[in-house]
Amino acid sequence: MSYRHFATLAIKGELVIYVVGSLNMDISATVARFPRAGETVAAESVLTSPGGKGANQATAIGKLGGDCAMLGKVGPDVFGEQMINNLKSYGVRTEHVTASQCESGTALIWVHKGNNRIVLNSGANGTLTETDVSEGLKNAKAGDILMLQLEVPLDTVAHALRVGKRKGMITMLNPAPAVQLGLEIYENSEIITPNETETQILTGIMPDCEVNVALAVKKFREMGASNVIITLGKTGSAVAVGKEITLIPAHKVKVTDTTAAGDTYVGAVAVKLSEGENIVDAAKFASYASALKITRKGAAVAIPTLKEVEEFIALRNATK
């Protein structure tokens, strides 16, 4: 399926965005500087909040008005209960978030001057199976959107993409954390959304200028990808559809915390695609949403709502 057919499938209010991915409890510490080996530094503040790339993307979709169903695993512990309740509070369906015998996934995050370093324990996320995915997607239909990341087993990701493609879903892969992928995964991903670092790992090319962005897109397509969105941090993002590469500038804001900025971006793209927007306009909206996110501390709790993004866009447009 080529991208130009996607919008004809979207009837606002009828499409579901399925997120297959991780749920982690984030424990985020703001520090004056990152510790060196063997060193202890004092935290300026500590924030505990539900996260994980899958759950963050589902949260973004729910907050931005999309109809979202989450598929994933949590542990039989208080973190698991909190993460499910958090998703429900944003309108995300959680009937296919099931309990594992493992502890819930956790992420230990250090934040310094808006940048972060993360240590991840996958926990229950590592137990998500192909059977879990098949059950969770049994009612999915053509035109629904399927979003995946790489914080659950790779075989499960590959299976989900096969199921999604067979059903005629719009399949989106956020290849994070980046690992080398088989051609089948690229071929079954209609939209792939790496950031700069992930692009370099996957293609060997750092997209630090327009020429290198084009070379990276070419490399992704040689591996089987169709449509590519590369997020470029403070530079913005590049959207490659067909022969066109559209560069979308970032919005200048005071950076507080970049955690979940990428998840906000791809969640926003999915919401707009489900409403019939074209991919470039969806990415422009996502750029506003992610810019607003990074002005706030935390992950899921700091992802903006649709109303907040609309107000942010209106304010930006009024001051141009």
pLDDT per residue rounded down to tens, the chain (320 residues): 444 455 444 444 579 999 999 999 988 899 999 999 999 999 999 988 898 999 999 999 999 999 999 999 999 999 999 999 999 999 999 999 999 999 999 988 898 887 888 888 999 999 999 999 999 999 999 999 999 999 999 999 999 999 999 999 999 999 999 999 999 999 999 999 999 999 999 999 999 999 999 999 999 999 999 999 999 999 999 999 998 999 999 999 999 988 889 999 999 999 999 999 999 999 999 999 999 999 998 788 899 999 999 999 999 988 76
In this structure, are residues 287 and 236 in contact, taking their beta carbons and an 8 Å threshold? yes
Residue appearing with tokens 């310094």: 112
Name the DSSP class of 152.
S
> Backbone dihedral region of 114: left (phi > 0), alpha (psi from -120 to 50 degrees) or beta?
left
In Å, what is the CA distance from 253 to each residue of 151, 289, 315, 319?
Answer: 29, 12, 13, 14
Most distant CA pair in the chain: distance in Å? 57
Q: Report the phi/psi class of residue 146: left, alpha or beta, with left for phi > 0 and alpha for psi in -120 to 50.
A: beta
| 263 is an active site residue | yes
Q: What angle do CA 211, 248, 220 make, to 5 degrees?
A: 50
* Residue that has been written with the tokens 């990415």 in this structure: 283
Q: Model pTM?
A: 0.90
CB of 151 closer than 8 Å to CB of 123: no
The one catalytic residue among 132, 155, 263, 281: 263
> What pLDDT score was predicted for residue 280?
96
List all residues 6 or more positions away from 219 whose beta carbon is below 8 Å from its beta carbon.
Answer: 203, 204, 205
DSSP code of 1? -
Instruction: Tell me the angle at which helices 261-274 and 279-293 cross, rounded to the nearest 10 degrees.
Output: 140
Cα torsion 187, 265, 60, 320 to 10°: value is: -150
Task: Find, among 255, 312, 259, the residue nearest to 288 by Cα.
Answer: 312
